[in-house]
Structure 1
Amino acid sequence: MTDPVAAGLDPLGRWRRFAGDAVLLDGFHALKHAVRFGARVPVAVAVDRRAALALAEELAPDVRDTLDGLLTEVPEATYASLVPRPHPTAVAALAVRPTRAANLERLGRVPRAAPVVVLDHPRNLGNAGAVIRLAAGFGATGVVTTGTLDPWHPTVLRGGAGLHFATAVERVAVDELPAGPVFALDPEGDDLRGVKLPDDALLAFGSERSGLSVELRARADHLLALPMRPQVSSYNLATSVAMTLYHWSAYGSAPPGAPPVP
């Protein structure tokens, strides 16, 4: 969807108009996903428009016509001036970020059909982006972060490949977490393989360095541990989230013969 006022401006004029409030979609795949999941995209540019549309025809025919109406070809120097570092597809766009109120309303709806992923004081921007991409792929209700990391930071958006628009992404305090039982991953917890993860669960993950915060640990209803070989220190955050979401998606109830959650 384009802005009727900005529609008459040249690409640089439209970019400047929205750059202060919108978020950068860095590359073809980020634009593809954002459009596919209903993002409002007021401006999109490409160094080679025909090549970008050919890529859409091959990989995303469902949004090809929409991209045809959005993409404006610009010189390579103009494109490079709009992005922190050029993407191999030489495509960039701006998208309007969903409001905090809309995200919180979506996260707070009950009953939920899928869990919310909670990243407790995450540190690595790329890992946060990878988690958002995973959560979108598994159909999670959303991803919330606690602490200082901005889950809409440009580096997180790049790692998420535009899939922030496929799920609800927001930063909250621990006392603002959505309703639902909190299953927090911790080395001292019960083996995940014997536990049922309900659809309305909040699946909480601490940072790789320091684990769960005191506040999140106190909020947890259950502590769970991933299976891990002795003397291996930890899994990457995104790997831990993937294993846990897969377990939720594969087992609507605890596996036969597994011990129940205490």
Structure 2
Amino acid sequence: MSGSSRTDGAGDRGPRSGEPTEPVRVWHGLADTSVLLDGFHALKHALRFDASIPVALTSDKAAVLALAQDLAPDVSDALDALLAETDEATLRALVPRLHPTAVAALAVRPSRGGNLRALERTPRVAPVVVLDDPRNLGNAGAVIRLAAGFGATGVVTTGTLDPWHPTVVRGGAGLHFATAVERVDVGELPKGPLFALDAEGEDIRGVEIPDDAVLAFGSERSGLSAELRARTDHLVALPMRPQVSSYNLATSVAMALFHWSSGRPPKAQA
């Protein structure tokens, strides 16, 4: 989308004062403590799943609303009310890398306590996905997007990676708000039978994954940690051709969640 100049004073600077306008001031005040939503699709998903979004900016509001009419008419009115327009130079100065849709917003991160309660609530109707000491931010974001699509109860990470890092949120396309996402220690994993993916495990095709399962996946480089392996109830393996060493992390999660969901009746869409 191309940038457009403002003539009504709603952009970066007031028409005479040279001061930032209110949406930009709000952005500066919240940027260090908020979740950055990069692009139209991230903002769309966050709105659909009731994220609290205090400010959203674009350099071309008309183009964004036209895109919404084509792709997401259900959020058009919310976008119209929320979006403030600023010039492209200001927008680029506020974000590390401007999304091609020229949209950026700040959202309030859900409380850790609320997420932990959601992860611990029983009975569960869908598994919790565990990423054991993941290293790749993009992979973590892709897993969160997958988990949200399958309706998983949540995604938790162990280790040092922050699952709310801006790069992870970008990879998740705003779907962090559709499921519970937190970082925990192995000893704090949600209750439930722990199924861990490992090449030495039983073929997953012969295993029934219950709704209250905790599905654990090792890191891309070193696999399952010794601590998590010691807590595992069931080691399961994905089918793999001999001499193929591994699958991408997100691919592994997708196959495991599809196996869990297969045979279950389709759920009504909200």
- What TM-score do you get using the length of structure 1 for normalisation? 0.92
1:239 Cα deviation from its structure 2 partner: 0.2
Match of 1:11 among 11, 16, 23: 23
C-alpha distance in 2, partners of 1:86/1:44?
13
SS at 1:20's partner residue? helix
Percent identity of equivalent pairs: 75
RMSD: 1.0
The aligned amino acid for 1:235 is Y
Q: Which segments of 5 or more consecutive residues in structure 2 lack a partner in the other structure?
A: 1-20, 265-270
**Equivalent of 2:37, from 25, 34, 37?**
25
Match of 1:250 among 250, 255, 262: 262
Q: CA deviation at 1:10?
A: 1.1
Cα shift at 1:251 = 3.3
CA distance in 1, matches of 2:85, 2:61: 5
Matches within 5 A, 1:22-171: 22-171=34-183
Verify the 8 A CA contact 1:189 1:224 in the aligned structure 2: yes
| Deviation of 1:86 (Å) | 1.3
Structure 1 Cα separation of the partners of residues 169 and 109 of structure 2: 11
Amino acid corresponding to residue 234 of structure 1 in structure 2: S
Distance 2:29 2:79 in 1: 20
Matching residue's letter, 2:122: V
The 1-side partners of 2:217 and 2:136 are apart by 13
1:209-224 equivalences under 5 Å are 209-224=221-236
Residue type of the alignment partner of 2:184: V
Structure 2 Cα separation of the partners of residues 185 and 71 of structure 1: 43
Distance in 2 (CA, whole Å) between partners of 1:53 and 1:219 is 49
- Aligned partner of 1:199 in structure 2 is 211
Query: 188, 195, 198: which is aligned to 2:200?
Result: 188
Aligned-residue offset at 1:20: 1.9
1:146-171 Cα deviation digits (max 9, x unpaired): 00000000000000000000000000
Deviations 1:35-55 (A, max 9, x none): 100000000001100000111
Encode CA deviations 1:85-141: one digit per residue, 9 max, x unaligned: 111000000000001000000000000000000000000000000000000000000
SS of the residue aligned with 1:189? Answer: strand
Q: Which runs of 5+ in 1 are unaligned?
A: 1-8, 253-262
Q: Which amino acid counterpart does residue 186 of structure 1 have in structure 2?
A: D
More divergent stretch after superposition (236-245 vs 56-65): 56-65
CA distance in 2 between partners of 1:28 and 1:236 (Å): 27
Aligned equivalent of 1:235: 247
Which consecutive segments of 4 or more residues in structure 1 shift more than 6 A?
none
TM-score (norm 2): 0.89
User: Contact 1:196/1:251 (CA < 8 Å) preserved in 2?
Assistant: no
2:156 alignment partner AA: V
